[in-house]
Structure 1
């Protein structure tokens, strides 16, 4: 029966829905996870600039670091929360905290919407980090969730290294947290070693069994950050962690641009609540602050993300942009470009440039110019200015003919 509806839809000329995802919330952790990127050292004015830009884009949550992470952290976090409230931001600020009442009390002082508690749950972290048993972790987490709730705040718990934690241990902790009324539980792929199939299977266990909302935080050590985020959402995860350009510890995590492009390509309704034209500005801002280029393969915001070069591509794009684009650049405030200054350019691209220059040339002239451009670009790299010079210096074959 499950296959009947898609088959009938296809038979009736209706495109079947490509995803089971109904909605998603984005938690941006550039100001926490992102600060763990080796090149990151944000000044306080830069943090305010980033937080304000994230709020303009409309992320659902902005996660910030612990108030005990450096000497004036509490003062900075309190000011940031206050400034975002003054701007009537809809983005909710969450403070990242150890399961420690002293830390939590300081985090509550900031006025933030909620507290993101975390503690290692795998055997690796039980041994190398805190030295506590699963039972002890569970009791500490539940007590602190109840404490945060007693202060009227949102309480989330992060099971650090969830995908290397025995499933029975995670289920034990989650059952206790569910009973304690935790709002959300984060399942991080802390070392980035999980496959999309493992993420889907494990996240499905939690979305089927428990009442709390499920969150996913996926590192990119093996290049699966976005793919694993998609798997988590398909399994019912409600909230996904991202950073601008995917920056973070080691190889970072799922990027904001990557997540948005993935969701947009499946169903634009999933990202309609976000101000998409702010996304390229965000990536450019953070790249400038860090002194690094936007990666050449970053979805949406890479310098050549919407540049078409091959002749067969440019011909099709001029007819219908969907021929070689799954994303609409104009929805992100970006213009597509045709790279016609190459040895693989095509006559349709050259003809389009001739029209842009408000010139009129016969098809035979376009063909000649195309070959001239290909020849010149084959000898050495050329620019659009070189192409324009070739076009303008060409003597039309109709020149000198009698009327």
Structure 2
């Protein structure tokens, strides 16, 4: 069976740029346009609105010049207006060859915004279309607020479509401008239009106000549309537009009768670049693109992945140029840790894996996720510092730090089975902790080593709430040695390193 081709029109550079706070430079627009057409292989791009600004004009001119040299000029579209030919003149000068003419798709908009009759509106549209044809500019027509038009003034919409059948246009673009359609309504309205106008090229433009953008696009395809409008990362006004990556995955997995040309493996790369240019962050749980969507956290899922891929679906990360990762946290199990150890080329015994697992669970209660980059530090902390018997224990401590006052620390320490409490002030929290220890050891007539170096580091590539490893160098008589502490809190990691030192000198 021959597959039905669906055109993908990306409107990131026009509708997506209406995202609050987003404005692309001319060079960024050109780069994105090039990636969309040559890397992602979308069929068409809508890059701007006419007559917006001098900067927009320069951006369009740069894209059309490049597209003309590449033979892609007919894939580049610009939103235009029924303005007596002003938009056509702007397009001529900018080099654009395809206009998406914005018209009124509901009687409500026509009456209250334009204050015109349908006949007057259609006549003005016909004049713009004819002028465009005379200038060698192709026309597609947007029916703005079409979804409300179908809900509240369907006779007007059909009257409009009857008129458009008589015009030399290529496509009719049907937007759910305010994102008010349910999937059932989307299918119903588009099916009715498809049946009445079987030869008309129909595009559906879905917004995401009720988080129904992808579902409505699915129903539009079922209803027989020829094209769909999408944006990178779901960018767009208010809640945004139907997102390109999600829709591409849905079409490829659930519509075997449909073909599209978009290159899945480039989606993530292009989306991350647009994220950088726009400053519009991709949510961590956003399907296909989010940082967490190919991350297994529960140990049972990692175990299942090793046993006939029990927790896989069709959304394999490799399809989108990504990799599956296994997070480490309080729900992690042995399987998660083994997956990460394999990636790092490390091998541990079952006994050592259990020790590391317990330490990760303990740390997971303090922070959400332990990263793969943290793992060597945890292994070092758990396995490489067990060469002493723990005879001295820091039972508890209170660290006080207030503006205008010197930090104060109270420590409870058990030494030689005796528990001692002391308090002291210092120049910082750890300095106050050390001064407290000196008071305790003075009581016991014991000597403490001299701290000669103090270094804090975060595992390379780890995240913003990463573990801190504090490495302290001590000099005790003629002997110099180091101890390490690991925690998500810098001062706590230093205290852990210090407790190790106390036990080393005791032993």
What TM-score comes out, normalization by structure 2 length? 0.68
More displaced 10-residue stretch of structure 1: 348-357 or 195-204? 348-357
* CA distance in structure 2 between the aligned counterparts of 1:321 and 1:112, rounded to whole angstroms: 50
**Pairwise CA distance, 1:116:** 0.6
Residues 86 and 390 from structure 1, CA distance in 2 versus in 1: closer, same or farther, beyond 3 angstroms?
Answer: same
More displaced 10-residue stretch of structure 1: 217-226 or 102-111? 102-111
Aligned to 2:171: 184
1:345 alignment partner, one of 327, 332, 346: 332
More helix by share: 1
The superposition leaves residues 246-304 of structure 1 with CA deviations (integer Å, 9 ceiling, x where unpaired) of: 22222221121222222233257856622323322222222212223212232211122
Describe the SS at the equivalent of 1:27. Answer: strand
Aligned residues: 377
**Pairwise CA distance, 1:86:** 2.4
Aligned to 2:112: 128
* CA distance in structure 1 between the aligned counterparts of 2:340 and 2:257, rounded to whole angstroms: 35
Residues 246 and 354 from structure 1, CA distance in 2 versus in 1: closer, same or farther, beyond 3 angstroms?
Answer: closer
Residues 219 and 375 from structure 1, CA distance in 2 versus in 1: closer, same or farther, beyond 3 angstroms?
Answer: same
Return the index of the structure with the highest Cα Rg.
2
Contact 1:28 1:59 in 2 (8 A): yes
Residues 90 and 334 from structure 1, CA distance in 2 versus in 1: closer, same or farther, beyond 3 angstroms?
Answer: farther
* CA distance in structure 1 between the aligned counterparts of 2:339 and 2:284, rounded to whole angstroms: 26
**Pairwise CA distance, 1:363:** 4.8
Residues 276 and 372 from structure 1, CA distance in 2 versus in 1: closer, same or farther, beyond 3 angstroms?
Answer: same
**Pairwise CA distance, 1:88:** 4.6
Residues 38 and 356 from structure 1, CA distance in 2 versus in 1: closer, same or farther, beyond 3 angstroms?
Answer: closer
Residues 152 and 266 from structure 1, CA distance in 2 versus in 1: closer, same or farther, beyond 3 angstroms?
Answer: same
* CA distance in structure 2 between the aligned counterparts of 1:90 and 1:279, rounded to whole angstroms: 23
1:261-280 alignment runs, 5 A limit: 261-267=249-255, 273-280=261-268
* CA distance in structure 2 between the aligned counterparts of 1:283 and 1:228, rounded to whole angstroms: 22
Describe the SS at the equivalent of 1:179. Answer: coil
Contact 2:326 2:340 in 1 (8 A): no
The superposition leaves residues 331-361 of structure 1 with CA deviations (integer Å, 9 ceiling, x where unpaired) of: 221111111x211112222233343444555
* CA distance in structure 2 between the aligned counterparts of 1:31 and 1:198, rounded to whole angstroms: 28
Describe the SS at the equivalent of 2:271. Answer: helix
Aligned to 1:303: 291
1:85 alignment partner, one of 51, 68, 72: 68
2:89 alignment partner, one of 105, 121, 124: 105
Aligned to 2:181: 194
Describe the SS at the equivalent of 1:299. Answer: coil
Residues 386 and 285 from structure 1, CA distance in 2 versus in 1: closer, same or farther, beyond 3 angstroms?
Answer: closer
Residues 125 and 353 from structure 1, CA distance in 2 versus in 1: closer, same or farther, beyond 3 angstroms?
Answer: same
Residues 202 and 142 from structure 1, CA distance in 2 versus in 1: closer, same or farther, beyond 3 angstroms?
Answer: farther
1:283-294 alignment runs, 5 A limit: 283-294=271-282
* CA distance in structure 2 between the aligned counterparts of 1:75 and 1:363, rounded to whole angstroms: 64
RMSD over aligned Cα, in angstroms?
A: 2.8
**Pairwise CA distance, 1:378:** 2.6
* CA distance in structure 1 between the aligned counterparts of 2:9 and 2:202, rounded to whole angstroms: 12
Aligned to 1:401: none
**Pairwise CA distance, 1:320:** 4.3
**Pairwise CA distance, 1:393:** 6.5
Give the gaps of 5 or more residues in structure 2.
385-507
**Pairwise CA distance, 1:389:** 4.2
Residues 22 and 312 from structure 1, CA distance in 2 versus in 1: closer, same or farther, beyond 3 angstroms?
Answer: farther
Residues 89 and 333 from structure 1, CA distance in 2 versus in 1: closer, same or farther, beyond 3 angstroms?
Answer: farther
Does residue 18 of structure 2 align to residue 36 of structure 1?
A: yes
Residues 95 and 272 from structure 1, CA distance in 2 versus in 1: closer, same or farther, beyond 3 angstroms?
Answer: closer
**Pairwise CA distance, 1:364:** 5.7
* CA distance in structure 1 between the aligned counterparts of 2:373 and 2:260, rounded to whole angstroms: 39
* CA distance in structure 1 between the aligned counterparts of 2:48 and 2:344, rounded to whole angstroms: 53
More displaced 10-residue stretch of structure 1: 50-59 or 345-354? 345-354
**Pairwise CA distance, 1:222:** 1.5
Aligned to 1:246: 234
* CA distance in structure 2 between the aligned counterparts of 1:277 and 1:395, rounded to whole angstroms: 41
Describe the SS at the equivalent of 2:54. Answer: coil
Aligned to 1:65: 48
**Pairwise CA distance, 1:204:** 0.9
* CA distance in structure 1 between the aligned counterparts of 2:346 and 2:100, rounded to whole angstroms: 61
* CA distance in structure 2 between the aligned counterparts of 1:352 and 1:274, rounded to whole angstroms: 32
The superposition leaves residues 188-239 of structure 1 with CA deviations (integer Å, 9 ceiling, x where unpaired) of: 1111111111111111112122122111111111111121111111111111
